[in-house]
Chains A and B, each alone.
Chain A
Amino acid sequence: MDIPYTTTARPDTGLWNAKIGIWLFLASEVMLFGGLFSAYVFLRLDALPGYWPHGLLNVPVGTMNTAILIGSSVTVVLAWAALKMRQFNRYKIYMGITILCGIIFLAVKLAYEWPDKFQHFGAYIRQDRLEKYEEYLGNHHMLERGLEPRVEITGHLHNHDALHDPNIHEYEVQLDQVNAAPTDPASDRPHFWPLPKSQKIAVIEKADVEHAEMFVPKHNTFFATYFTITGLHGLHVLGGVIVFTYFWLPIGANLYKRNPEHLANRVEVAGLFWHFVDLVWIFVFPLFYLL
């Protein structure tokens, strides 16, 4: 049985069916991401001074991933155009590049960006003990410059056991530059190229710490929203890659032989989804990496 209106317009809507279908789906997607983004706005505006971290993400890597995603948006539209012009070989090439871009994007996210966060440690100092760690926080200096206070000490955790062992009473942290030289404006975040860790090691007593863990979602509101939104976005990228791969395999060629316009329309619809995923990233990138 043939599915009706895959290539011809339905008289009452003036469109082939999948086109309406995808736009209705994208409308619901706008609400899904809209909900998360409005939560982000809510949480960020209400963050206490110093509690919304800046410059913890790797900007060059994020910029590269943005460029990769934009590139794949171009190639998917070119793949569709190639089908429209009945150039199947070109379609295969452009679609192949698109799939590759999606995989690279995910690989960077899962093999580098997220694990990098899981290996980064941060300790929020109790409000009444901030003065004790002044040499790492430099809050007198921050006050002079009219900047928000620092409440967290970050770096590489040397005694990893301290996270779980109640008999260990302090954290040994190889400090990030910002805590090693807190009064030097040059070590301030954000930075385009991430600064290397300092050689300085600080000992932070657990009793002085409000809470401390690696940069996992529960560490703070920033990472909770970051992992939620980039995670959901990553799932969308994965979904797109799977659908594109399905069209790229011989199953796509078979459909092309039967009805090239049908394959073109399928690619157009999947492409619309892909552009939407790109569009979401266009907002995610500046909000989390840059601002």
Chain B
Amino acid sequence: MNETQQPTATEVIADGHVKAGHAQEEPMHDDHSHVAAHVNKYLMVGGLLLLFTGLTVFLSYVDFGTHKMNMAVGMVVATIKAGLVAMIFMHLNAERQLIYRILVFTVFFVLALFFLTYLHWYDPISR
């Protein structure tokens, strides 16, 4: 499509960076210098995730009173980790509107699914 604006391979390998501003049609967050600035952030988030993994393991051996409470603590930490992965690694902190619209439906339906499971507690036949 915009093939003419792409740098050739030799150009690229020679200086390791892209010169041509081929990305006019692309959103700002894909800008190359921007990507470079994000590399440290990715490493930091990776470290944070490892830290949280250690925390999950540690907290599972701490007695929070009831097993349900331990379960809740474990799930909170897992949700924080999942949030970090989704926001930073999957770029959901700066994505296009359409993606969010797709995800709103996903969240709705997956919650509905869990809600149906939850409803079985009130099933007069199984209880």
Q: Is A7 an interface residue (CB 8 A)?
A: yes
**Of the residues B18, B61, B82, B98, contact of A282 by C-beta under 8 Å:** B82
How far apart are the CA atoms of A271 and B57 in the complex, in Å? 26
Interface of A is mostly: helix
Binding site for A on B (CB under 8 A): 1-3, 6-9, 12-13, 16-18, 22-23, 25-27, 30, 32, 35-36, 38-39, 42-43, 45-46, 49-50, 53-54, 56-57, 60-61, 67, 70-71, 74-75, 77-78, 81-82, 85-86, 89-90, 96-99, 102-103, 105-106, 109-110, 113-114, 116-117, 120-121
Q: In the complex, are the beta carbons of B46 and A20 less than 8 A apart?
A: no
In the A-B complex, the 5 residue pairs with the closest CB atoms: A74-B46, A290-B60, A257-B9, A27-B106, A38-B117
- Complex interface bits, A1-32 against B, C-beta within 8 A gives 1, otherwise 0: 01011111100011100011001100100110
- Of A158-166, A167-175, A234-242, A272-280, the stretch lying at the interface with chain B is A272-280
Q: Is A117 an interface residue (CB 8 A)?
A: no
Q: In the complex, are the beta carbons of B17 and A85 less than 8 A apart?
A: yes
**Of the residues A38, A78, A286, contact of B74 by C-beta under 8 Å:** A286
How far apart are the CA atoms of A276 and B49 in the complex, in Å? 14
Residues of chain A with a CB closer than 8 A to B67's CB = 291
Q: In the complex, are the beta carbons of B117 and A41 less than 8 A apart?
A: yes
Interface range on chain A: under 10, 10 to 19, 20 to 34, or 35 or more?
35 or more
How far apart are the CA atoms of A276 and B75 in the complex, in Å? 17
